[in-house]
Structure 1
Amino acid sequence: MLAAVDTGESRVLVVHGIAGVGKSALIEYAENAAENMHVLRAVGVESEMELPFATLHQLCAPLLDRLERLPDPQRAALETVFGLRSGAPPERFLVGLAVLSLLSDASERRPLLCAVDDAQWVDQASLQVLGFVARRLLAESVVLIFGARERSRDLLGLPELELTGLRDADAHTLLDSVTYGRLDQHVRDRIVSETKGNPLALLELPRGLTVTQMAGGFGLLRADALPGRIEQSFLARIAALPEQTRTLLLIAAAEPVGDPALVWAAAARLGVTPAEALADGTREWLSLGARVTFRHPLVRSAVYRSAAEEDRRTVHLALAEVTDPDVDPDRRAWHLASAAPAPDESVAAELEKSADRARARGGLAAAAAFRQRCVALTVDASRRADRAVAAADATLQAGDLEAAGRYADIAARAARNEFQRVRARLVRSRVTFAGGLNQEAPPLLLDAARRLEPFDMDLARETYLIAWGTAALIAAHSDSLMAISTAVRELPPPDRTPHALDLVLDGYALLVTESRAAAVPVLRRALAALAGLPVGEVSKWGWVANAVSAAVWDDEAMRVLVGRVVEGARAAGALTELPFSLTSLGIAVSWTGDFAAADSIVAEIEDVSAATGVPIAPHVELRLSALRGRTDEAEALIAATIEEAGAGGQLMGVTVAQWAAAVLYNGLGRYEQALAAAKVCTRMAELWVSVWALPELVEAAVRAGDDAAARSALDDLADAALPSGTDWALGVLARSRALLSDEAKAEDLYREAIERLGRTELRPELARAHLLYGEWLRRDRQRVEARTQLKTAYEMFASIGMEAFAERAHRELLATGESIRKRTVEAESGEELTPQERQIALLVRDGLSNPEVGTRLFLSPRTVEWHLRKVFAKLSITSRKQLRDALPPSDHALTAR
């Protein structure tokens, strides 16, 4: 690993094994061997696990003078989590990208070795960030080594080395080095066998024991009891130390920073003096240098756990008293909480402030821990209810749904008035929704919204909007959506100028309870209001508000609005929300036929999803595979999505999959299958995709000879399209009407469809209008005119990449007697590029710098440059400018900005 950095590569290793097996020794060996490297070291401390980014600060502190070299959002993120500035809490993945950039920048001058020992005690925020960094290292000349007792979820999938103890011969040698006198061979063999070669056990267990004791006592030893047995060995020897020495050890065990000044200040408060405490043998346990450290983590845990509860509280109180409340208020509050023998309002108030500071730094797990402890120390029941709601909310944001539910229940039990009960109900509803797209969440949210009305109408309306969006996403039937929409219609109008979200909510309610004709005017006002909202506000509600443009058939507004949501998510580093917004953007861009841009969006979704661990339904891939007409790929994806989404009651996933199937089979000319899929899709209690499937149903039904189904679907399409009056809506409607019209009207309708869709960017829809018109002309024996329309359709399909529809147009051309050379659907340049290389090449082609590409794809600029060199070699070019000719242009550069 150390040698790899000389070639400009990075390496990561997780060394894991039980306590005492040698992890720290190996890491220390690596540090000593890294002669030409800059060594950064951090150690997890059990009592510091609740403090956000504590270990990360340890590791990065020597590099903080390089923060100015980072891009502004990344620098701000690190400065915020390290308490160097105030500001909105950054996403932890933006923090991860900042650390990646920081390490990459530092390694340009000199290779880095980053060692993180006792990772099992690293705070969650730090471990998530370091796990993120470890997965993105490639060409930075950085070695990152973790030492941990067990595999951590945040480090899964990284290269690992499990230490299992010494081989028998070496174990015997080590045992002999610490035993005096000759042991019976059977006793020696038994000790080595039962310790499984654990070197610390072999060193520590014989200390202070006679040969007789060793022979007689080891029969009780089990491998899984080794840590406890080693601790007992430590404690037996520590018990013989003077009282003041034991107190000093306990202070050092309770003080996580290892600050000698704090340790000695707390010791002085307890009457411990250096002269008395530093007895013979103290240095065997403690190293008293620039930092106070234990010779082995088990010593720290043994000292702390074995101390009486009263002694631990006394030591924590002393540490709290000597900790500066201005410099380190959070550690002081945590010490005070650990010292409290009973509920204490003053300490609870301090913990509340610490939770707010932790949240501001992006330490969600720490904020949750502070608030949970705050609840335990609260005396007043009413205040406990309020704090339990806050604890449940913080714990939900930290991702611990089970604990969040417990604190929601505590809030409900402690509530002393209806408002507190309603707030507890609301947070319980949100926990239920976060637990999975299930049928329980909409009615719970509806109940919470109703109960909130007498207390906070704005919060009630927000809750109604969340309830409506939840029901629209997951309801397997329309009951919940109708109940929510009816309740919204019964709300009094706001006693202020309606906000954009008020209009969205009112429009959605009208869409369900009345008609699209009634809803469209309100939704148009909502769309105009959304355009005036700050990007951050649009991003917050994008998951619900994105559908407004679809409801009014405004394709340009759809791309602009969703583009703003994506822009806001990127700017804010809201990476957990970004994949959902990117999915909406991918669908919007797919309507234009810019498959290269859509592919880039899919690749970004995959990158973000992999980085955050948030699974995302493959809606964009479904749409693209259907439009491309790649049968095997599309059918496999459709079947898998229907099975998975159906099992989870996820209405939207099933609807998108059936819509994709209808498009696929219409392109292939398999109209019976297209009709079946479209019927399933349009029967769904879903308000957008099911409408987009209506033109597919009309076309498939006409071709399959089911005129009744076609006319019914056309009526539904007219109801959905006419109120909007857009070229998209009326163009698709005219195209569908033409399929069911007589000869006198059909030609005018086809021409209207082509004219209207030609004024939009919806190239696939326009090409399909030309195709249907050409097919109609051929059947009407107007072969010359048919060839013109079919050639146009064929060229458009081929240039877009719609293989099945292109083949359908080609067959029709042959039927007209036209002899046309069948061209291959345009292959995109750079086929030999890997998906990541192609993504990087496209972003660079569209004008992004290496740091900007790195930010987008969660890579360091050096790794981007490394990939780019490979792209240049594969495409036989030498400059970034040449990418414009080597790769097809994107019509939607908003995806790269």
Structure 2
Amino acid sequence: MASDGRPAQLRGRAAESRVLQSLISAVTAGDSQVLVLRGEAGVGKTALLGYLVEQASALHVLQIAGVQSDMELAYAGLQQLCAPLMEHLGELPDPQRLALEVAFGRGVGEAPDRFLVGLAVLSLIAAAAQQKPLLCVIDDAQWLDQVTVQTLGFVARRLLAEPIALVFAARDDGAEPLAGLPELTVRGLSDSDARELLDSVLLGGIDPPVRDRIIAETRGNPLALLEVPRNTSATELAGGFWISGSASSPSAIETGYVRRIQALPAPTRRLLLVAAAEPVGDSALFLRAAAALGIPVDALAPAEAAGVIEFGPRMRFRHPLLRSAAYRAADLTDRRAIHRALADATDPDVDPDRRAWHSANAVAGPDDAVAAELESSATRAQGRGGIAAAAAFLERAAILTADADLRGARALAAAQAKRDAAASAAARDLLDLAERGPLSELQRAQVARLRAQMDFVRSRAGEAGAPAVRDTARALLDAARQLEFLDDYASRESYLEAIAALMYAGRLGDPGALTHAAEAALAALAREPELSRAVDYLLKGIAERITRGVSAGSEPLRTGLDHMCVLAAADDRHVLRWMVPAFPILQESAAHELWDPMIVEQLATAAVRAARNAGALATLPRALVYQAGVHLVAGDFRTAATLVAEANTITAATDHSTAVKYHALMLTAWQGDATEAERLIEAAAADGTSRGEGRVLGLTGYAAAVLYNGLGRYEEALAAARTVCEYEDVGFYSWCLYELVEAATRCGDRDAAASALPRLAERAGASGTDWGLGALASAQAMLADDETAEALFTEALERLGRTTITVHQARTHLVYGEWLRRVLRRSDARHHLTQAYDAFVRMGAEAYAERARRELAATGEKVRKQQPSTGGELTAQEAQIARLAGEGLTNQEIGAQLFISTHTVEWHLRKVFAKLGISSRRQLRAMSWAS
């Protein structure tokens, strides 16, 4: 504070101060705010956070700071942030409360999904903010434990209508889960401000050339400038011998800190090392460790006098770089001795994990007892949902294990945990460690499968240096063979993963590779002909479909999918296991091969339900777009768009998901926005080609055929469909045959249409479903002579009318009406064309609606262009909330489903009511989205 009681002003930070003042004003007015201060060490981020806290006298302020040595302890930062708010824990829904209690070690239960924990944190801070606007200040976010920063990044992206501000400070290259949030880059001071600051801390004068060099070397870094008189002698300043031009300011500052600490008495340095090695800052623990070392606490006085550390209820270094400098200033032997003292001083019942971590840092070589402690800590971390922490404990346990057999097992477990924590490079290193020791045959097969799974994910993500999709498929196939006589369930899953990888590779894969993999799977199944599990039937069905044709695989595919539907209704855990990256393509493709919309709908609905119930946000985007596909073919583009938008929102808080992008592409193609659809098609095709993912080329070709048939650009539709049908992509190949027939008949190329029709009959006709038989009858009608066409059109409409596949029903009305107009039955044509036009307008299929309008105009019917239904101009999230409220869900239940706070649901509903001119939830039940 200034001498007159006003908040102190920061030198050279007028612009940044205005941003922070605006943030405080917005939160005080009831708005949510998120800001990430980015900059190098010492540039002034912490000072700006201090200024922010000074300005926030009317707010409830929570403050935490990441500590580098605490990065491996799951939820360490999050627990510290939430500790003052636990009085609101009882206000949370039971699943959220239990998730938070387990995550924080306050309760016992299955490991909660980290995004359910995120929702619980969101609900907790929202509850606290109802009493008083809340400011959460997180310094050194790059040093928070991984699960904490991921959770806070998720919470930051879900804030909307709460009087809450989340403000982070992070290094330029740290805290990646915060990427994409609003940022304020903090740079060094201007030359003039830097000169003033430097002059204010120098007791004597300094030559202008030397001063200018210091300003240039520090790049205006405030901490570097403030430390000049502390870390540099008068002789060095006078002679201009200061920072080497090749050194960065932070490294030079830390070097100066090390020198300052090394100048302190030896007992003082050891006590500083105790404080540096124990990030909690617990004074009682510090005193116990000091006593064990036989060093009086008075020995810390020189460090306090030098402004290095503050001794109080919590030990605090004046700057994080001082902590790391204190640790660096000690040799390895001293560090181990200090960690041993800290381990001995830590209560094994109260904090066994931190004790284990100190013990691990205290040993000089392999130690099976410490490794066992670390393994126990990993189990506890997994029980709290701390995958990253579990991986760190297991990694260290593997390194410290003397027993070679046990070391291999622990390294494999650590690799699996690192993979789950998205640390693929560390996982691969651990697999290398596991393979250097003796492994059982099963363990070697597990290593091979895990390595292949990680490579598959890398290849799909387009990671630099990743193997091609087809190469990962070969590795998965080899793993499946190795597992055959060791773990048949894992083997069959691996066969399915290999087949899925080859389906993704598609036309860009090795010729015959998919058939070869399917034959290998069938040979493995033949060794145990009794099928009893869904995975067995699905593998048999998809393999027979690939090797022996449609009819050969239909029966086991249907049995497998029926089994899945039964299991899905009984237990969400089965559904979540099927939502790993490789399985959805198999489920969806198999159901589409059967032309059975009910199976697709049941499995998609179960996937979304299971992901929502579990709070599994890593899985939920895939489930949402799976369900979006169901609504798309049902003609409910609004709900499909809402689901895709929700998936995109969640993906932004988690990781990249190609599935979201491709379903958005199909939706845009059906909507008929040529400019946007062509842009997405081109980008997706280029992306798929670069990654060797040929299935994407089939999908983009199909999307182009749908788009151009709607626009009446039949030559382009025919060219796209022909390209797609050069390779059979299981799942949507049959649909594209229909596009080919329509485009070819409109272009007058009856030979092309006639050649496609038997292939469509073999697939859709063999399905025995109204969807398949209706689509086939519609295609046959387009090629039939005038005497038989009408009967086929009528059959198609009758069959499709018994399904939920509204898009094909509307398409059939359209082509039937076009045929009726050509045979001069204008009155009958108007009836079907009007049916088509109204349906397309309701859907939002603008290109097909315009095509129907033009045909109606050709019959003499005057039709005004209509805008597609927009649901009262509701946003995607508003429409979703309105639909759920109309279905009778409470605000709390809606918030849990959509991963937003109850207050945000209320805020959205007020906007919904105003836009729709209604006043109660009861009125929502009559709206179309509530059906």
Once structures 1 and 2 are overlaid, which stretch shifts more, 876-885 or 42-51? 876-885
Work out the CA distance in 2 between the residues paired with 1:700 and 1:43. 63
What is the Cα deviation at residue 307 of structure 1?
Answer: 0.5
Q: Deviations over 1:562-612 (max 9, x none)?
A: 110111111112212222222221111111111222121122122112221
Please tell me whether residue 490 in structure 1 is matched to residue 533 in structure 2.
no
Among 645, 649, 652, which residue is 2:695 paired with? Answer: 652
Q: Deviations over 1:348-384 (max 9, x none)?
A: 2222222222223222222222222222212233332
Among 562, 568, 571, which residue is 2:613 paired with? Answer: 571
Percent identity, please: 48
Work out the CA distance in 2 between the residues paired with 1:322 and 1:92. 32
Please give the TM-score of this superposition, normalised by the length of structure 1: 0.93
Q: Deviations over 1:727-779 (max 9, x none)?
A: 11111112222223334433322222121111112222122223333333333
Work out the CA distance in 2 between the residues paired with 1:20 and 1:775. 72
Please tell me whether residue 286 in structure 1 is matched to residue 309 in structure 2.
yes
CA RMSD of aligned residues (A): 2.6
Who is 1:596 aligned against? 638
Work out the CA distance in 2 between the residues paired with 1:474 and 1:339. 49
Please tell me whether residue 467 in structure 1 is matched to residue 498 in structure 2.
yes
Who is 1:97 aligned against? 119
Describe the SS at the equivalent of 1:475: helix
CA contact (8 A) 1:594 1:890 kept: no
Please tell me whether residue 779 in structure 1 is matched to residue 822 in structure 2.
yes
Q: Deviations over 1:98-155 (max 9, x none)?
A: 2222111111111222121222321121112222223333332223222233253222
Work out the CA distance in 1 between the residues paired with 2:788 and 2:248. 87
Please tell me whether residue 766 in structure 1 is matched to residue 804 in structure 2.
no
What is the Cα deviation at residue 826 of structure 1?
Answer: 4.1
Q: Deviations over 1:18-58 (max 9, x none)?
A: 33333323322332332222221111111111111211111
Structure 2 CA distance for partners of 1:145 and 1:811, relative to 1, 3 Å: closer
Give the number of aligned pairs.
Answer: 888
Who is 1:444 aligned against? 475
What is the Cα deviation at residue 406 of structure 1?
Answer: 2.2
CA contact (8 A) 1:287 1:295 kept: yes
What is the Cα deviation at residue 823 of structure 1?
Answer: 4.9
Please tell me whether residue 790 in structure 1 is matched to residue 812 in structure 2.
no
Matches within 5 A, 1:83-122: 83-122=105-144
Structure 2 CA distance for partners of 1:217 and 1:785, relative to 1, 3 Å: closer
Among 538, 541, 564, which residue is 1:504 paired with? Answer: 538
CA contact (8 A) 1:854 1:861 kept: yes
CA contact (8 A) 2:39 2:45 kept: yes
Work out the CA distance in 1 between the residues paired with 2:781 and 2:222. 83
Structure 2 CA distance for partners of 1:677 and 1:159, relative to 1, 3 Å: closer
CA contact (8 A) 1:683 1:690 kept: no
Who is 2:156 aligned against? 134
Describe the SS at the equivalent of 2:612: helix
Matches within 5 A, 1:872-887: 872-883=913-924
Work out the CA distance in 1 between the residues paired with 2:231 and 2:491. 69
Please tell me whether residue 750 in structure 1 is matched to residue 793 in structure 2.
yes
Structure 2 CA distance for partners of 1:222 and 1:14, relative to 1, 3 Å: farther
CA contact (8 A) 1:231 1:302 kept: yes
CA contact (8 A) 1:583 1:619 kept: no
> Residue type matched to 1:537 in 2?
H
Matches within 5 A, 1:51-66: 51-66=73-88
> Residue type matched to 1:532 in 2?
V
Structure 2 CA distance for partners of 1:685 and 1:384, relative to 1, 3 Å: farther
Work out the CA distance in 1 between the residues paired with 2:25 and 2:836. 58
Please tell me whether residue 226 in structure 1 is matched to residue 228 in structure 2.
no
Who is 1:705 aligned against? 748
Please tell me whether residue 481 in structure 1 is matched to residue 518 in structure 2.
no
Work out the CA distance in 2 between the residues paired with 1:391 and 1:7. 48
Structure 2 CA distance for partners of 1:747 and 1:310, relative to 1, 3 Å: same
Matches within 5 A, 1:39-438: 39-152=61-174, 153-167=176-190, 171-172=194-195, 174-176=197-199, 178-207=201-230, 211-216=234-239, 218-222=241-245, 224-278=247-301, 281=304, 284-437=307-460, 438=469
Unaligned segments of structure 2, at least 5 residues:
1-22, 461-468
CA contact (8 A) 1:651 1:684 kept: no
Describe the SS at the equivalent of 1:889: helix
What is the Cα deviation at residue 223 of structure 1?
Answer: 8.1
Who is 2:929 aligned against? 889
> Residue type matched to 1:141 in 2?
P
CA contact (8 A) 1:320 1:335 kept: yes
CA contact (8 A) 2:272 2:300 kept: no
Once structures 1 and 2 are overlaid, which stretch shifts more, 549-558 or 158-167? 158-167
What is the Cα deviation at residue 255 of structure 1?
Answer: 0.8
Structure 2 CA distance for partners of 1:146 and 1:766, relative to 1, 3 Å: closer
Among 545, 549, 566, which residue is 1:532 paired with? Answer: 566
Once structures 1 and 2 are overlaid, which stretch shifts more, 766-775 or 558-567? 766-775
> Residue type matched to 1:69 in 2?
E
Q: Deviations over 1:853-875 (max 9, x none)?
A: 43444433333333443444444
Structure 2 CA distance for partners of 1:223 and 1:890, relative to 1, 3 Å: farther
Work out the CA distance in 1 between the residues paired with 2:201 and 2:844. 75
Structure 2 CA distance for partners of 1:496 and 1:217, relative to 1, 3 Å: farther
Structure 2 CA distance for partners of 1:83 and 1:18, relative to 1, 3 Å: same
Structure 2 CA distance for partners of 1:773 and 1:157, relative to 1, 3 Å: closer
Work out the CA distance in 1 between the residues paired with 2:299 and 2:375. 39
Structure 2 CA distance for partners of 1:518 and 1:243, relative to 1, 3 Å: same
Please give the TM-score of this superposition, normalised by the length of structure 2: 0.90
CA contact (8 A) 1:550 1:558 kept: yes
What is the Cα deviation at residue 210 of structure 1?
Answer: 5.1
Work out the CA distance in 1 between the residues paired with 2:217 and 2:626. 59
What is the Cα deviation at residue 7 of structure 1?
Answer: 0.7
Work out the CA distance in 2 between the residues paired with 1:183 and 1:812. 87
> Residue type matched to 2:500 in 1?
G
Work out the CA distance in 2 between the residues paired with 1:182 and 1:605. 62
CA contact (8 A) 2:31 2:162 kept: yes
What is the Cα deviation at residue 725 of structure 1?
Answer: 0.8
Who is 1:32 aligned against? 54
CA contact (8 A) 1:120 1:150 kept: no
CA contact (8 A) 1:183 1:211 kept: no
Who is 1:895 aligned against? none
What is the Cα deviation at residue 786 of structure 1?
Answer: 3.5
Structure 2 CA distance for partners of 1:236 and 1:226, relative to 1, 3 Å: same
Who is 1:607 aligned against? 649
Please tell me whether residue 854 in structure 1 is matched to residue 895 in structure 2.
yes
Unaligned segments of structure 1, at least 5 residues:
892-897
What is the Cα deviation at residue 719 of structure 1?
Answer: 1.2
CA contact (8 A) 1:596 1:890 kept: no
What is the Cα deviation at residue 63 of structure 1?
Answer: 0.9
CA contact (8 A) 1:8 1:140 kept: yes
Q: Deviations over 1:378-417 (max 9, x none)?
A: 2233332222222222111111222222222232332444
CA contact (8 A) 1:828 1:888 kept: no
Describe the SS at the equivalent of 1:613: coil
Structure 2 CA distance for partners of 1:869 and 1:309, relative to 1, 3 Å: same
Once structures 1 and 2 are overlaid, which stretch shifts more, 396-405 or 187-196? 187-196
> Residue type matched to 1:404 in 2?
A
Who is 1:894 aligned against? none
What is the Cα deviation at residue 217 of structure 1?
Answer: 5.4
Who is 2:16 aligned against? none
Once structures 1 and 2 are overlaid, which stretch shifts more, 651-660 or 874-883? 874-883
CA contact (8 A) 1:830 1:875 kept: yes
Who is 2:624 aligned against? 582
Who is 1:863 aligned against? 904
CA contact (8 A) 1:22 1:199 kept: yes
What is the Cα deviation at residue 687 of structure 1?
Answer: 0.9
